Amino acid sequence: MKLIKRFRSLFASRTHILPIYTQQVAYIKQASSALVKMTATSGHDEWKRLEKEVKLCETQGDAMLTEFYEQLYERIFTPLDRIDLQAIAMYMDEFLDNINDSAKSILLYLPERIDPQLAELAQYIESEADALKDLVVCLENVKANFSSLTLVCDRITELEHAADDAYEEYIGHVFHNEKNPIELMKYKNIAEMFEDTTDAAKRVSDYVRKMLLRYAE
Segment 36-44 mean pLDDT: 96
- Rounded to whole angstroms, the Cα distance separating 39 from 22 reads 26
**pLDDT higher than 50, residue 147:** yes
Segment 100-125 mean pLDDT: 97
181 Cβ contact partners less than 8 Å away, ≥ 6 residues apart: none
Instruction: Please tell me the predicted confidence (pLDDT) of residue 78.
Output: 57
Segment 133-154 mean pLDDT: 92
pLDDT band at 14 (very low <50, low <70, confident <90, very high): very low
Residue from 189, 201, 71, 209 nearest 138 by CA: 209
Segment 5-12 mean pLDDT: 44
pLDDT tens-digit readout, 53-74: 999 999 999 988 887 877 776 6
- Rounded to whole angstroms, the Cα distance separating 1 from 64 reads 10
Domains delineated in the chain: 2-215 (1.20.58.220)
Instruction: Please tell me the predicted confidence (pLDDT) of residue 79.
Output: 59
